[in-house]
């Protein structure tokens, strides 16, 4: 035992040395989860408590496939092999697909004819192992130092595979799919509302913040005042801020008919939008300020001294030099907005948060996931889009 420990501790290549401790840890976590926790749970209906089923009760061929992928990853974590990072990437992707297939076909074997309300939900072991597969893929990409196009290609390959399997009806027996299918029309509306809410909040924030930024950039005492007010707004918890707006807006809508006719009320989109805008004011103003402060003073001085006018200087010098920082700031704010907009559902603002809160209310975890997974995917998509734009505007320095 002590010999094994000292072998683990010394990086001597000829003895047992761990090549990739991160991957090994991930594999151990996934193994423990698959052995000890439920892979799938089956219940007679949506509200009843389910019976937890472990992986080894799944169709043996598929369970073996999962175990093989995981075992292979574990070996790659310990031993050095040729192209081991590529192999790890392939095995991790394989593990993700194997887990999906196993869960789907396992669920199909559990269907009892004549019980349409019966549910097969994904268990904790599935989610942990699926997460491990994702992290293992990221780790392999990191080690391979894959560029942005290669990562995007991997992502699209997997998404395409997933879409193909989904359209073939592979996942139909899973309760997550059922919840999704039964909420399909509502889902599209909620998704569009979510995107619209985020988009509108960003546009309005930018419009509101532009004059604030102009004042802040001028410096002086107002700058400090604006920053302290904006940072104070940031400290209000989001749910409280949404709630706080109900009373004043209801009052306004009740007393100013014009506002009411414009659709302003204490509940719904208006307070949601206002709360989001209040939230984004601080990061937006500070990041824009930082972006323009990053323009070297000597470059600004040279531009002025050579006879660039105010507008020309802004368009030709300040903006292009600030743009990368500006866009990465906007990226952070957008990702934050996609997450925060879920809370808007609490006050009737709609969006994907509707499913999350409805699911929590009904104790239907799958319905929560119908709201939460698209939020994550939306954030990833936005991140992807921003990275594309950033790569395009990045100038040589």
Partner 1 sequence: MIQIDHVSKTFAGTQALADCTLTIDDGAFFVLIGPSGCGKSTLLRTINGLIAPDTGTIRVRGKDIATEDPERLRQSIGYVIQSVGLFPHWTVAANIAAVPQLMRWDKGKIARRVDEIVALLRIDPALLPRYPHQLSGGQRQRIGVARALAAGPDLILMDEPFSALDPVSRVELQAEMRRVHAESKTTIVMVTHDVGEALSLATTLAIMRAGRIIQIGTPAAVVGAPADDFVAQFLGGPERFLHLLDVLSVGAAMSAEPPSGAMPRIATSASLRAALSLMMAEGAQALAVGDGDGASVGTLRLDAIVAASHA
Name the residue nearer to partner 1 (CB basis): 171 or 292. Answer: 292
Q: How far is the CB of 85 from partner 1 (least distance, A)?
A: 33
Tokens at 207, concatenated: 């419009």
Give least dist CB 383 to partner 1, A: 25
Distance in Å, CB of 319 to partner 1, minimum: 10
| Of 155 and 323, CB closest to partner 1 | 323
Shortest Å, Cβ 305 to partner 1:
4
Q: Is the CB of 211 or the CB of 307 nearer to partner 1?
A: 307
Please, which residue, 15 or 304, has the CB nearer to partner 1?
Answer: 304
CB 276 within 8 A of CB 341: yes
Q: What is the 3-state secondary structure (H, E, C) of 40-78?
A: EEEECCCCCCCEEECHHHCCHHHHHHHHHHHHHHHHHHH
Answer whether 397's CB lies under 8 Å from 206's CB: no
Q: How far is the CB of 292 from partner 1 (least distance, A)?
A: 15
Distances (CA, A) of 171 to 62, 101, 176, 371: 15, 8, 9, 18
Task: State the residues that interact with partner 1 by CB under 8 A.
Answer: 296, 298-309, 312, 317, 320-321, 395-397
Nearer to partner 1, 49 or 298 (CB): 298
Number of Cβ atoms within 10 Å of the Cβ of 195: 16
Query: Bridge partners of 121?
Result: 41
Least CB distance to partner 1 at residue 311 (A): 10
Among residues 135 and 308, whose Cβ is nearest to partner 1? 308
Tokens of 342: 């879920």
CA distance 211 to 231: 17
Rounded to whole angstroms, the Cα distance separating 261 from 272 reads: 18
Q: Which residues contact residue 325 at a Cβ distance below 8 angstroms, ignoring those fewer than 6 apart?
A: 287, 290, 291, 294
From residue 307, alpha-carbon distances to 304, 312, 390 in Å are 5, 10, 30
CA 321 to the chain's CA centroid: 29
Nearer to partner 1, 321 or 352 (CB): 321
- State in angstroms the smallest separation of the CB of 46 from partner 1: 58
């Amino acid at each position: 035992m002590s010999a094994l420990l000292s072998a683990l501790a010394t990086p001597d290549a000829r003895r047992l040395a761990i090549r990739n401790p991160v991957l090994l840890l991930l594999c151990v976590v996934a193994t423990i989860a698959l052995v000890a926790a439920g892979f799938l749970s089956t219940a007679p209906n949506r509200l009843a408590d389910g019976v937890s089923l472990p992986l080894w009760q799944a169709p043996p061929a598929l369970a073996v496939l999962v175990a093989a992928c995981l075992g292979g990853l574990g070996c790659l974590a310990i031993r050095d092999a040729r192209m081991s990072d590529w192999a790890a990437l392939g095995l991790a992707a394989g593990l993700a697909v194997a887990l999906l297939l196993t869960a789907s076909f396992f669920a199909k074997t559990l269907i009892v004819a004549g019980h349409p309300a019966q549910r097969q939900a994904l268990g904790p072991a599935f989610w942990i192992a699926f997460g491990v597969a994702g992290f293992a893929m990221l780790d392999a990409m990191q080690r391979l130092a894959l560029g942005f196009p290669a990562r995007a290609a991997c992502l699209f390959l997997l998404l395409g595979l997933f879409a193909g399997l989904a359209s073939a009806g592979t996942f139909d027996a899973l309760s997550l799919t059922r919840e999704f299918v039964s909420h399909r029309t509502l889902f599209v509306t909620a998704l569009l509302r979510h995107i619209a809410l985020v988009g509108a909040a960003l546009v309005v924030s930018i419009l509101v913040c532009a004059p604030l930024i102009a004042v802040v950039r001028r410096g002086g005492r107002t700058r400090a005042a604006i920053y302290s007010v904006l940072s104070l707004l940031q400290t209000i918890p989001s749910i409280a801020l949404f709630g706080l707006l109900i009373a004043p807006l209801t009052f306004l809508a009740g007393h100013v008919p014009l506002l009411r006719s414009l659709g302003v009320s204490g509940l719904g989109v208006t307070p949601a939008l206002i709360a989001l805008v209040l939230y984004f004011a601080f990061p937006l103003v500070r990041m824009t300020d930082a972006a323009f402060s990053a323009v070297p003073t000597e470059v600004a001085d040279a531009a002025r001294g050579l006879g660039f006018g105010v507008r020309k200087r802004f368009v030709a010098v300040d903006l292009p030099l600030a743009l990368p920082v500006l866009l990465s700031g906007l990226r952070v704010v957008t990702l934050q907005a996609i997450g925060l907009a879920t809370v808007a559902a609490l006050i009737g603002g709609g969006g994907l948060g509707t499913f999350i809160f409805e699911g929590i209310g009904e104790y239907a975890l799958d319905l929560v996931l119908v709201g939460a997974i698209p939020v994550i995917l939306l954030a990833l998509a936005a991140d992807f889009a921003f990275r594309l734009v950033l790569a395009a505007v990045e100038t040589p320095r």
